[in-house]
Amino acid sequence: MIKTYVLDTNVLIQAPYAMNCFENNQVVLPVAVVEELDDLKKAGGEKGENARKTIRLLEQLRRAGNLLEGVELEGGGTFRIEKNFVDVALPPDLPDEKKDNRILKVCKGLEGASEQKVILVTKDILLRIKAQIIGICAEDFITEQVRDSDKQYRGRTEVYAPDDAFQDFKKKGIPADKVYQTDEKGNLIKPDLEENEFLIIRSDQSNKKTHLGRVQGGIIRKLDYKKSAPYGVTPRNVGQYFLQEALMQPAAEAPLVIVKGPAGTSKTFYSLAVGLEKLLNHPTGEYRRILICRPNAQFDSDIGFLPGDEQEKISPLMRPVIDNLEQLIDSSEEYRYKDERELQGKIEEVFERGLIQAEALNFIRGRSIEKTYLIIDEAQNMTPNQVKGIITRAGKNTKIILLGDPNQIDRPFLDERTNGLSYASEKMKGSSLCWQITMKVEECERSQLALDASKRL
């Protein structure tokens, strides 16, 4: 049965290609949405860019036929703009002047005018609630949705291996088909291991025998950088051993690293430590700089009004990065804050020498970034479209590190299943070029209070 999907503006602002995602069904765009696109076409940042991209797609469809009568879509089905149903009655507490309610009128009118099922597609939760109130079926745009957070790829697991396999582990590794797990009933099961997945390997004969490894080409191999101490930092838990391994690998082996986890698990701290190790302590020539970006949910609308140049405008967003640099550049906990001016001078010197640069996410678009150690902090506040744009910007010998906590999203219309960090994690799972690790709550190293709060709150 053919369905009619009515699209809200926020769907197209996040995914301009959305109109081609509904197979052989009808896609309808209310005039109210066209007006909103017109209002947004001069906006800055991703919102304006995607509005303009959508408008260009609409122009292509206009040239193909009459948009009021309907034109065929590349992905199948038809597309048309609906200008009728302005007189459809809504409950008195839903005023006509609101564009959201005008969209609801179109949905109500279409439902009464045909026998086809009408579905409103919007990322606005409140609009979906209002649609349900008046009896309209409403859904989120699910094309970019990934699995529920508790089922998403974590990049790590535990397995058992025959005791005799432990003898040659460091030299030969262990074939991945030799390890196993157990279910709740104690039955042996073969794990479905991904390329580059990190493993805690336990002997099936002794609880004291444990190895840390990584899947590579069907073999579980030892960690290459287990004994490293980048910029004087040593791992304090299993998650940090895995994190260190992924970060220390050269860009040719691990050009993309995705790190998810709660606050205080040293995601940013460790990423900076490895970058500084490669640039300052033991310059390898791999990278010419560390580039840090930190998405901000209000960047497009608010940051432009702040005084100063780009660096001065984004400095408030970089404060968490500065906090980590203070701990790394002056590693002595006893004397670190004795001379605040000297510490600030050391931080400024790193930036003045161009070893570390901070840029707004907007200015990454359209560039090709080479020989760069690129850290995207708070990546859970990126859209899938943004994260695709970032990863496809990677030039030769560039390493991209996406950091974030999918449970702490500040951006409207994103959630644990639709944010760019989770999207990239699921889509890049199994790629030999992508290394992933999800840190656990109990691996919080910020403080005892932070650890306790992470568990309790």
Taking residues 75-93, report their average pLDDT: 93
Q: What pLDDT, in 10s, does the model give residues 281-297?
A: 888 889 999 999 888 64
406 shares its domain with 270: yes
Taking residues 72-80, report their average pLDDT: 93
Q: What pLDDT, in 10s, does the model give residues 235-247?
A: 999 999 999 999 9
Burial class (CB in 10 A: 0-12, 13-18, 19+), 298: exposed
Chain-wide mean pLDDT for the chain? 89
Confirm whether 250 is domain-assigned.
Answer: yes
Q: Give the end of a domain, one of 192, 222, 252.
A: 222
Residues with Cβ within 8 Å of 157's Cβ and at least 6 positions away in sequence, in order, are 181, 191, 193, 197, 198, 199, 200
DSSP line for 69-87? T-EE-TTSSEEEEE---TT
Identify whether the C-beta of residue 334 lies closer than 8 Å to the C-beta of residue 275.
no
Confirm whether 228 is domain-assigned.
Answer: no
The pLDDT of residue 254 is above 50: yes
Element (H, E) at 324: helix 319-329
For 342, which DSSP code?
A: H
R_g of the chain computed on alpha carbons: 26
Structural domain boundaries enclosing 207: 145-222
Q: Can you point out the beta strands (E) in 246-382? A: 256-260, 289-293, 356-358, 372-376
- The domain tally of the chain equals 3
Confidence (pLDDT) at 300 = 42
395 shares its domain with 432: yes
Q: What pLDDT, in 10s, does the model give residues 5-58?
A: 999 999 999 999 999 999 999 999 999 999 999 999 998 878 898 999 999 999
133 shares its domain with 179: no
With pLDDT > 70 as the criterion, what percentage of the chain qualifies?
Answer: 92
The pLDDT of residue 364 is above 80: no
Taking residues 184-200, report their average pLDDT: 94
Task: Give the span between the Cα atoms of 211 and 220, in whole angstroms.
Answer: 10
Chain CA centroid to CA 30, Å: 31
The band of 152, judged by pLDDT with boundaries at 50, 70 and 90, is: very high
131 shares its domain with 150: no
Identify whether the C-beta of residue 19 lies closer than 8 Å to the C-beta of residue 12.
yes
Confirm whether 229 is domain-assigned.
Answer: no
The position carrying tokens 């930190």 is 294
| Cβ-based neighbour number of residue 135 at 10 Å | 9
Q: Provide the CATH number for the domain around residue 40.
A: 3.40.50.1010
**pLDDT-wise least confident of 72-76, 361-365, 386-390:** 361-365
The pLDDT of residue 312 is above 80: no
